[in-house]
Amino acid sequence: MTTLKSFQAEIEAISHEKQKLAIKEARELHAAAELARHHTKIPVGKKDPVLEVKVKEDAEEVKEATIEELILTEGSVDELQSRLATSLLKGHGEYLIPLGAHPSPIHKYNPPVPAIEPVPTVGMVITAGELDSAVGRLKDACQALNAELNEMYRVDEDGRSYGCWLVRLTPRGVEEIMEVRVAVVGNVDAGKSTTLGVLTRGGLDDGRGKARVALFRHPHEIETGRTSSVGGEILGFSPTGQPVIPSSHAVDPSDPHGHPLAVAKREKLGWEDICKKAAKVVSFIDLAGHERYFKTTLYGLSGCAPDYVMLMVGGNAGLIGMSKEHLGVALALNVPIAVCVTKIDMTPPNILEQTVNMLTKVLRSPGCRRIPVFVNTAQEAVDCARYLGQPLGSAGRLCPIFMVSNVSGHNLPMLRTFLNCLPSSQTDDKYVVDAPFEFQISDVFSVPFVGTVVSGVITAGTIHANDAVLLGPDSVGQFIPTAVKTIQRKRASVNSGEAGQSVSFALKRIRRTQVRKGMVLMEKTENPPKAVRRFEGMVMVLHHSSTIQPKYQAMMHCGAIRQTVKIISLDHPSGLIRTGDRSKVVFEFISHSEFLKEGQLILLREAKTKVLGVVTRILA
């Protein structure tokens, strides 16, 4: 028997090692292709990506002063602007700067017993006057870079001051808009669609679900009030950090809590209008809560590549039913989690207290190992956004909890502040821009007068309109040559896309029947892509009622791939595995071959059976 935590650490190490090797090979391939394209000569001003990465790694070994230290110690103005520009480029147009001595997050949100007084701090201790001077220097640097400086919070106490400021550039087009993908899960009637309707439209709900009606995509969803498909909504934030919402739902300036003026209407801004005003977009993936649609929810969590999961818990119902299943899947996939407790305006205080106690107990349990933080201030919202997903010592990871009401608007401004500060996964190493193009297809459409359109997430490289690509694998494992006719991002036409972005492509000379979910688009390289029928994986059985033996079949989710697999062999002394066991397993796809890579996470399900694993070797 082994614990889920230790197994997750092991598969994360395997995945990281495999991805590191794949990234290195991809960068070398990309560099070789660029050299060949330019007749083995790098043009003036163009650097070899491999050499650039090497120089970057060597430069990181030299200890340099941080931007915070440059601001507080009155360092060189030119150096400050240069370092700030580099950080903005790395953060895709956004950078969060804490100034002053902040309370240590470990001691503040998970204080030891007995508590340490005073709470240890992180950063330089400064006075209010010194902080004012530092903010002035930062403001001048931002003006020189044409960037907006937003104060997220500031605290002046006990003769010391500290705060956090957000620097954000205005994008030149939709291609440069920063994106954060958030999957919204929870039990049926937990308030998922209503909360998204209130967040994206700016108004409040009338208590009868008026805010959610515009989010439904099918007639039966409107009739039953239940989501059955993977829906999508976006919330835009301007360069100054304000939510982009209809003008009729503007915030009352005299209200200190920032509540909207009107109850939610059917009025909404189009995605193109939002993208014109926004510098950052939060894409919500509204998933189904009913157990009948669990496979759809699981596909959304794995195939849509969410950066974060927002778990909705009804204050009057608690953590029941599918909420626990969704929480378990998010933990298994190692996606950072935030919790929203809804309907607090209509829940009796004793019932709400029971919900909070149960939620805290589950999050602190050995299976979750999360530090619950009830967010009520801007400082807590920004701290949770900064540290979400990062391990805070042996205590675990932060899990922000927002107690919200969609009718009264309680705590909704704190939730928007949290979403405004969330970093995008485009800054992570898993999305590599200087590598051959690769795109996972998560949805397929047939659009009149346009043709076949595919949507998904670019996992590597960059793409431009009219670029030639390979589509596959098809039913016989072949890759078909095609070209990208046009590109759209957030329903707005763009000329290019890069790794980490969710986009849609119109394909040339491809029929709708030739494309299915789980296929990939890839750049033509010297090493053609290969379809996989058999592969080896390291797995752990999270739950199974009896035993799993060879010839066992289950539905496998791996990114956008969703297909039944059969176990060919087990590397276990007993020849079978039970709940809690781990083993190396050889799998075979039942229907057709797929495109897989070593290091990808896999999740098997069949009824209540769940098996977590990672691809360790491609066989054939």
CATH at residue 341: 3.40.50.300
CA 288 to chain centre: 18
CA–CA distances in Å: residue 306 to residues 7, 285, 299, 367, 461: 22, 8, 11, 22, 19
198 lies in the same domain as 159:
no
Label residues 599-616 b or e (16+ Cβ within 10 Å = b). Answer: bbbbbbbeeebbbbbbbb
| Residue 455 burial (CB count, 10 A) | 18
Tokens 């939510």 correspond to 243
pLDDT of residue 167: 95
- Asked if 227 and 192 count as a contact pair (C-beta separation under 8 A), the reply is yes
The domain in which residue 589 lies consists of 534-618
Of 427, 454, 478, at which residue does a domain stop?
A: 427
Same domain, yes or no, for 162 and 179? no
| Alpha carbon of residue 419 to chain centroid | 11
Task: Give the Cα-Cα-Cα angle 229, 232, 236 (nearest 5 degrees).
Answer: 165
Contact 194, 406 (CB under 8 A): yes
Can you give the pLDDT at residue 376?
A: 94
Looking at the domain assignment, is residue 478 inside a domain?
yes
Question: What would the two tokens of residue 55 be?
Answer: 């120089």
In a domain, 13, yes or no: no
Whether 263 is in a domain gets the answer: yes
Is the same domain home to 311 and 400?
yes
Neighbours of 171 (CB within 10 A): 17
Residue 574 counted as domain residue: yes
189 in the same domain as 282: yes
Residues with Cβ within 8 Å of 486's Cβ and at least 6 positions away in sequence, in order, are 450, 465, 493, 505, 506
Beta bridge partners of 232: 285
Residue 241 in any domain: the answer is yes
352 with 474, same domain? no
CATH assignment at residue 574: 2.40.30.10
Opening angle at CA 514, ends 513 and 518, nearest 5:
105
- The structural domain count of the chain equals 4
Q: Cis omega (within 30 of 0) on the bond before 120?
A: no
**What's the pLDDT at 62?**
44
| C-alpha dist (Å) from residue 102 to 108, 521, 608 | 10, 46, 45
Helix (H, G, I), strand (E, B) or coil at 54: helix
User: Based on the domain organization, do 273 and 342 belong to the same domain?
Assistant: yes
Q: Which of 523, 543, 573 is where one domain is finished? A: 523
Q: Which of 169, 204, 239 is the last residue in one of the domains?
A: 169
Element (H, E) at 150: strand 147-157
| Same structural domain, 362 and 462 | no
Q: Where are the beta strands (DSSP E) in 238-307?
A: 243-244, 280-286
End-to-end CA distance of the chain: 31
Q: What is the DSSP string of 5-59?
A: HHHHHHHHHHHHHHHHHHHHHHHHHHHHHHHHHTTT-PPTT---HHHHHHHHHHH
Exposed, middle or buried, 578 (CB in 10 Å: 0-12/13-18/19+)?
Answer: middle
| Longest Cα–Cα distance in the chain | 74
Tell me: do 346 and 481 sit in the same domain. no
- Element at 208 (helix H, strand E): none
Are 195 and 337 found together in one domain? yes
The residues near 432 (Cβ < 8 Å, ≥ 6 apart) are 23, 26, 27, 460, 461, 499
For residue 183, what are the β-bridge partners? 285, 309
Are 418 and 385 a contacting pair, CB within 8 Å? Answer: yes
User: Hey, what amino acid is at 313?
Assistant: V
* Any domain includes 146: yes
Rounded Cα gap, residues 371 and 392, in angstroms: 9
Q: What is the structure's pLDDT at 20?
A: 66
Taking only Cα atoms into account, the Rg of the chain, rounded to an integer number of angstroms, comes to 25
User: Looking at the structure, do residues 423 and 353 belong to the same domain, yes or no?
Assistant: yes
- Output DSSP code: residue 425: G
3-state secondary structure of 480: strand
Q: Give kind and range of the element (H or E) at residue 117.
A: none
Length reported for the chain: 620
pTM of the predicted protein model: 0.87
Q: pLDDT of 41-63, one tens digit each?
A: 333 333 343 334 333 444 444 45
How far apart are alpha carbons 476 and 206 in whole angstroms?
Answer: 54
pLDDT value at position 44?
36
201 lies in the same domain as 318:
yes
At 441, list the tokens: 């297809």
Residue ranges in the chain whose pLDDT is less than 70: 1-2, 19-20, 22-64, 206-231, 247-268, 394-395, 428
Flag whether 95 is in a domain: yes
- Tell whether 232 and 344 lie within a shared domain: yes
Residue 204 lies in a domain: yes
